[in-house]
Structure 1
Amino acid sequence: MLSSSRKEMVAEEVGLDNAQDDRDMHRLGKSQQFKRNFRFYSILGFTTTLMATWESILLTSTYGLTDGGRAGMIYVYIASFVGFFAAVISMAEIASIAPTSAGQYHWVSEFAWPRSQRFLSYLTGWLSVLGWQAAFASICFLCGTLIQGLLVFNYSTPGDYVYVYERWHGTLFTMAIAAVGTLVNTYGAKFLPPLEGLILALHLGGFVAVLVPIWAMSPGQASSTEVWKEFTNSGSWPSIGLACLVGQLTPIFSWTGPDAATHMSEEVRNAASIVPWCMVSTALINGGLGFIMLVTLLYNMGNLKDVLEPASGFSFIPAVKHATGSRAATNGVAAIILVMEVCSAISILATSSRQTFAFARDNALPFSRYLAHVNRRTQIPVCAVLVSSMITVLLCLINIGSTAAFNAIASVMIAALFTTYILSIAAFVRARFQSDGLPPSHFSLGPLGLPINLFALGYLCFAIIFTFFPTANNPTPVDMNWSIVVFGFVVIFAILQYLVHGNRVYQAPVTQVRKTE
């Protein structure tokens, strides 16, 4: 039981937090529609498991090992982290000024050039909505194909049963993962904040549970020369340098989604302080865990050629099998990763639905009235959650006809979200030079802000180019990365949608922002 004095201190602290949140919502011109159930540790669990960096490093290692090899993955990871961290702390400062579920499209609306604010904000909103929708489809599909990979791993040799890989199996598994995420985000929504604290413990505990047996059971490690000095160009690119740049898709995918905390900010108490520090903490924690797991994989995975030709489709499965020498241990590691990726899918669906809700709240989407509705009893945008799930179900049907077509749609996630980061930071740089200055911030980069912003912009503009590259030079139509086509279609669609619909009804967030004294 709390003493009376302790209760008074807690009540006073809560009151101060609520007052700050009320001031922020008043400045942004929005009404409070959600319960602020998230605290620092629960939202930290939400974002760290959403990014799931050490898990994603293992799942997507094939890209980096193909283009760059062991040494390439090491140096590309370090360089990418430096650039990406600059982008994260840049957006953390903006999130402290405008902690809203709208995220990037609000930032562009408030800080971009006046003549183009409305259009660029609308374009950013569409890219963010579609990027997060693609992210949910992508993570559900990744979980589904991991289940298929485990079936291939366990039942690929002649015996009582041999599993035959079918694309429609992966589609059904994808739907099942989407259904789990939907149930948790609707019926279990009130348990999501405390659940995220438990998931954070699983994220950290699972890391140890995977790391220890790989080092302890490994029959022998690769030499430091192999890990730190030997590069690979299995994609037949003109140079090792270009191969490494193409291979940066592995770390990029592993860090996608640093803006997730922003889209949940209207459900976070004292969001102006908690959200930016959560973004920074997530990047540091996941960046460190990811690097340790990467080094562990590279030292203990065995022969590179064997790892690059996995029957399961995932290079980490034969790598862990070599390291542990145990089929049971390999299944255990894969099961831990699968559970964590399902948890990531739950968080991604929550983020996607909040972004959809916010954009609909500004009357920017078809059927905005319904998508912006918040259930009074649960205080959850149930319609936005269900629509996000249905989009994934419809998208994964494409996989039955063509995996390449589905991958192109799913992979557009990175380009779409990167573009929103670029537009947001560029608009914020422009705002730094205005005579009236920036609104007050609880998280400030101080005099280092401008150079960090410019460095982040340079990195993002450079990195986004290589997200459109195929994994190998001179690809066949099947192996081609068609995400550039899908991304171009999304941009054209957003522009036409603005001309036909948005130009008449879109309520740009800047029109509702109140000036601070």
Structure 2
Amino acid sequence: MDRSSGSTTRGAKRAEAPVSQDTKLAEAIDQELLAVMGYKQELRRHYSTLQVFAIAFSIMGLLPSIASTLSFSLPAGPAAMVWADLSSALPTSGGLYWWTHHFAADKWKNPLSFLVGYSNTIGLIGGICSVDFVSVVHNGEWVASRNLIYGVYAATVAAHGILAILAAPIMHRIQSVCIVANVGLVLGTVIALPIGKSRTVEGINSATYVFGHVENLTTWPTGWAFMLAWLSPIWSVGAFDSCVHMSEEAINAAKAVPYGILWAGGACWSLGFLCLCVIAACMNTDPNVILKSPLGQPIAQIYYDALGKNGAIIFMVAMATVQFFMGLSITIAASRQTWAFSRDGALPFSKYLRVVSTRFRYQPARAVVGCAATSIILGLLCLVNSAASNALFSLTVAGNYFAWAMPIFCRIFWGQDKFKPGLFYTGRLSTPIAVVALLYMAFAITLSMFPTAGPSPSANDMNYTVVINGTVWIGSLLYYFLSAKKWFKGPRKTLDPASPTEAEHRETESEC
């Protein structure tokens, strides 16, 4: 039976493993902080700092992300692939819209919070679509139909929804395994590719080629083609907000969330740089050969050239496995944002979606189902053509970057006096870092709206990001001013300040 209450049954309490005093103390502090924000503890806290990091690191899925975005960077040559950096986020249990509401000027806090909540929610669901959409490798003779690709996609999303609910008791451990799988795939690639390539006639490319050779396979000016190559890291190194959305399930969240963000960004920057250097050193010196590979995927051709058919198959299977768990992780993160936004009554069917299931160990099971079902429905666009597919995937970058940028903007321009440092604080560098982050995210959003092939794209080559995200943003604001303005007043308090905290409630219950 699903219940919105956070109380535990005696049977469930007997089934749980003993909890250490340190963990109890950390949970009490976490719940007290949550109570200050007006929320009662409803989800189960069982994610360590490492496992919070694992959520973001798994969603970034470093090598699969690099592989799926090579088509953005290869047209500019190898040098553009290996320079990128991004690290910026705000750790808040209610999500980025909560911080926007907290820091924004009174006149704007409700509409901006509403806008950010929708942009983030739909952006994360778009992330499920982009991660779970399968590009099937082929041999140049057989090509998968759109119906088959959609069928695989829908089955994958459904599997992620089922796993996210049924495997909830061990999901934190699964995330730990994802760290090993992601790092193992990267290390396997950076070891195997150079060894295999060194045995070929062409050999390994020179450092001059890797770091200095620039090409332009687009109709844009060379300088702008180089800048567009940043779309690869913009797509790959993201998902920082996933740590934020897991904060109500994190132990010692005030440390776990910011450190998870920093570790994920640092790991992806360093390992990504290493991985891209090796790929550039081992790829064919003619990017056209890779982009037009009969295998259908540039990374598959690079593996094939260096390791042969069997080696390429092994690595592509490993990559598909890692990508499967990427989809599982982002389904979890998206469901937590959906649940939090529903808890504040902002989404359609909020009363249904905000319920926490006690049957499945205090998970927002209904929010998981809602995210999976929405992703499957949105995925129908993939049946139209590649332009429609890319338009769907564009929800992720611009939508989430906008959601990341807005609370930072509100804090700098309206909320400096409201900001109170937590356990992690960058001191005097806090504001300069925030300004740099805003400039980068403005650059990323702008860049994500350009057609990559050139300034005069056909209907199939057009980048519809501005259309899709503009519709989401304008539609959200219209919804707010025409309807939601009457009832959405920002985050709702679910805990009466005069009531005991959830920790006290459980302690009292255990004595009965």
> Once the two structures are superposed, what CA deviation does each residue of 1:441-499 show, in whole Å capped at 9, x if it has no partner?
11101011111111111111122101011111121111111111111111121012112
Find out whether 1:168 has 2:168 as its counterpart: no
How far apart are residue 61 of structure 1 and its match?
0.8
* CA distance in 2: counterparts of 1:108 and 1:256, whole angstroms: 20
Q: How does 1:437-448 map to 2 (within 5 A)?
A: 437-448=418-429
* CA distance in 2: counterparts of 1:463 and 1:59, whole angstroms: 18
C-alpha spacing 1:349/1:438, structure 2 compared with 1 (3 Å): same
> Once the two structures are superposed, what CA deviation does each residue of 1:43-100 show, in whole Å capped at 9, x if it has no partner?
222221111123311221111011x2111222xx33xx0xx22xx2xx2xx41xxx31
* CA distance in 1: counterparts of 2:20 and 2:51, whole angstroms: 20
> Once the two structures are superposed, what CA deviation does each residue of 1:248-280 show, in whole Å capped at 9, x if it has no partner?
111101012111011011011110111101110
2:380 is aligned, of 397, 402, 410, to 397
1:283 is aligned, of 253, 265, 281, to 265
Find out whether 1:72 has 2:80 as its counterpart: yes
SS at match of 1:232: coil
SS at match of 2:357: coil
2:334 is aligned, of 352, 364, 367, to 352
Find out whether 1:242 has 2:224 as its counterpart: yes
How far apart are residue 431 of structure 1 and its match?
4.7
Q: Contact conserved, 1:50 with 1:344, CA < 8 A, in 2?
A: yes
2:435 is aligned, of 427, 451, 454, to 454
Residue type of the alignment partner of 1:171: Y
Partner of 1:302: 284
C-alpha spacing 1:432/1:401, structure 2 compared with 1 (3 Å): closer
Aligned residues: 473
Q: How does 1:208-223 map to 2 (within 5 A)?
A: 208-218=187-197, 219=200, 220-223=203-206
1:11 is aligned, of 13, 20, 26, to 20
Partner of 1:6: none
1:315 is aligned, of 294, 298, 321, to 298
> Once the two structures are superposed, what CA deviation does each residue of 1:198-219 show, in whole Å capped at 9, x if it has no partner?
1211111222222211111112
* CA distance in 2: counterparts of 1:423 and 1:106, whole angstroms: 11
Partner of 1:340: 322
1:140 is aligned, of 132, 140, 146, to 132
* CA distance in 2: counterparts of 1:242 and 1:274, whole angstroms: 39
* CA distance in 2: counterparts of 1:403 and 1:383, whole angstroms: 31
Q: How does 1:46-61 map to 2 (within 5 A)?
A: 46-61=55-70
2:174 is aligned, of 191, 195, 219, to 195
Partner of 1:472: 453
Partner of 1:112: 104
How far apart are residue 369 of structure 1 and its match?
0.1
> Once the two structures are superposed, what CA deviation does each residue of 1:167-206 show, in whole Å capped at 9, x if it has no partner?
1111011112112211211111111011111121111122
> Once the two structures are superposed, what CA deviation does each residue of 1:366-402 show, in whole Å capped at 9, x if it has no partner?
1110011111221111111111111111122221222
Partner of 1:232: 215
C-alpha spacing 1:385/1:510, structure 2 compared with 1 (3 Å): closer
C-alpha spacing 1:265/1:107, structure 2 compared with 1 (3 Å): same
Q: State TM-score, norm by structure 2.
A: 0.89
Find out whether 1:272 has 2:280 as its counterpart: no
* CA distance in 2: counterparts of 1:134 and 1:320, whole angstroms: 29
Using the TM superposition, name which of 116-125 and 395-404 deviates more. 395-404
Find out whether 1:28 has 2:37 as its counterpart: yes
Using the TM superposition, name which of 104-113 and 307-316 deviates more. 307-316
Using the TM superposition, name which of 13-22 and 327-336 deviates more. 13-22
Find out whether 1:415 has 2:407 as its counterpart: no
How far apart are residue 512 of structure 1 and its match?
7.9
Q: Contact conserved, 2:53 with 2:259, CA < 8 A, in 1?
A: no
Using the TM superposition, name which of 423-432 and 290-299 deviates more. 423-432
Partner of 1:4: none
* CA distance in 2: counterparts of 1:510 and 1:422, whole angstroms: 23
How far apart are residue 333 of structure 1 and its match?
1.0
Find out whether 1:331 has 2:323 as its counterpart: no
Residue type of the alignment partner of 1:136: I
Q: Contact conserved, 1:364 with 1:507, CA < 8 A, in 2?
A: no
Q: In structure 1, list runs of 5 or more residues that go unmatched.
A: 1-8, 157-161
* CA distance in 2: counterparts of 1:432 and 1:498, whole angstroms: 23
How far apart are residue 511 of structure 1 and its match?
7.3
Q: Contact conserved, 1:18 with 1:269, CA < 8 A, in 2?
A: yes
Identity over aligned residues, as a percent? 26
* CA distance in 1: counterparts of 2:389 and 2:219, whole angstroms: 25
How far apart are residue 341 of structure 1 and its match?
0.8
Find out whether 1:262 has 2:262 as its counterpart: no
Residue type of the alignment partner of 2:442: C
Residue type of the alignment partner of 2:65: S
Q: Contact conserved, 2:40 with 2:494, CA < 8 A, in 1?
A: no
Q: Contact conserved, 2:178 with 2:325, CA < 8 A, in 1?
A: yes
RMSD between aligned alpha carbons?
1.9
**Greater share of helix residues, 1 or 2?**
1
| 4+ residue runs over 4 A deviation | 510-515
How far apart are residue 313 of structure 1 and its match?
3.0
Find out whether 1:491 has 2:470 as its counterpart: no
Residue type of the alignment partner of 1:213: A
> Once the two structures are superposed, what CA deviation does each residue of 1:207-236 show, in whole Å capped at 9, x if it has no partner?
222221111111211122211111111111
* CA distance in 2: counterparts of 1:510 and 1:456, whole angstroms: 29
Residue type of the alignment partner of 1:70: P
* CA distance in 2: counterparts of 1:18 and 1:481, whole angstroms: 46
Q: Contact conserved, 2:115 with 2:476, CA < 8 A, in 1?
A: yes
Residue type of the alignment partner of 2:444: A
Q: State TM-score, norm by structure 1.
A: 0.88
Q: Contact conserved, 1:27 with 1:514, CA < 8 A, in 2?
A: no
How far apart are residue 16 of structure 1 and its match?
2.5
2:369 is aligned, of 386, 395, 410, to 386
Partner of 1:506: 488
